[in-house]
Every structure is written in structure tokens, then in C-alpha cells.
A and B are shown apart, each in its own frame.
Chain A
């Protein structure tokens, strides 16, 4: 199985901050990576796929980049509604696997 490691596991940030979350795969996944946002008590929401493609309706302050084994999710200017937990997921090979999550908290 492909292991997905996210860092940090949590971070504190202020509204307006630029935030970067990292996801590392245990082997190359050829940009077959999605990012999800989950708020407490809610279902995950797809943000990006193919490492950098924005899902319809997702604000442009979210962006993704990376290649090979290393990928990042960036929020260019953190908004109050962005405080949540973020997960990466690889779909290069089954079983699909998720990272452990990164919780973005209010500083």
C-alpha cells in the first residue's frame, strides 16, 4: 500500500495568513492526488484533484502543486471559513489511501 504522510498534523494561523500543508507519498504517484477539506461533524469536501486542478466552486485562494512523491496545498490568504482539517488522498494505485490530516486552527 502507498503510505501518505501529511505535515504538520496541526497548525495555528491567523486570518489573512498564507498556509502550506505538505503531503508525501511512500512512492511516486504521478500527480494522482486529491485534497479534501472537512469541518467538524461534516463530510469531506473535494478541493483539488490531479494535484493542482481546482474543483468547481472552490475559491481560487486554494492551490496545489508538487510532483513525484511530494505535494503541497496552499491557502493564499486564510479566511474564517477555512479553519478545518485537510486530507490528501492518492489514487495512483488501490487501495486508495489518505494522509493523516492537518488541522488548521485559529491563532
Chain B
């Protein structure tokens, strides 16, 4: 079964840091680009960051560029999102998602994790 499982969410103070992880299974992880998508409470979906299968190509939304770093360890089938200088507006459920087409294509996402909640508050 193809599966993504996020972890690492929690409560953090403004200005703090947090690292999210996403463990992948059931597919050849390094063949696919992967992504983080977030959803603030009661709001819609926002594409945050993406990373190619090799790790050589990254994307960041303007709202997080310079504060968040996406990375992957293909030997551990794990995706990461290092978040720093966190703000109240970063409060959201963070989903890990796999792009549907093998290769370095940022198209549509066919497998999603259940999400991990990040709350930024003092």
C-alpha cells in the first residue's frame, strides 16, 4: 500500500523552529517529486514547498521562502520540512503529498498523508 505518514507537528512560540517528517512506503520514493501543502484552520489549500526526486530542484512559496527548507533522505524514504522564524500565520495542518507522475514533475498529487498540525502561539 502506498502511504505517507507525517510527524513532528506541535505547539511552538512565534520565532521558533520545528522540523516535520514524512515517511513514505509502498513506492519507489526517489522516483517521485514530493510536496508539502498546508491548510490553515477553516481555510483552503496552499502549496508550500516541493522537491524533485533527486533533491536537486526545489520550490518554495513566497510566504515561506527564506524561512523553510525542504529536504529528503532517499535512503530512509523520508521527506523533511525544516521550519524556522515561525509566525502565527504558519499555523496549519501540513500535508505531505506525492506527485502522480514519476520524474521531476510538479503536476497533481495522487497520494496524501493524514497531516500533522503546527500551531504557532505564545
Give the interface of A toward B (CB within 8 A).
32, 34, 36, 38, 42-46, 49, 55, 87, 89, 91, 94-101
Contacts and interface: CB of A to CB of B under 8 A. Distances in A.
A50 B109 CA distance: 12
Contact of B114 (A43, A94, A97, A99): A43
Interface residues of B, number: 19
B100 A44 contact: no
Interface of B: 37, 44-47, 50, 59, 61, 95, 100, 106-110, 112-115
20 contacts: A34-B108, A34-B109, A38-B45, A43-B115, A44-B45, A44-B95, A44-B109, A46-B109, A49-B107, A89-B108, A91-B107, A94-B59, A94-B106, A95-B59, A95-B61, A96-B47, A96-B106, A98-B44, A99-B44, A100-B44
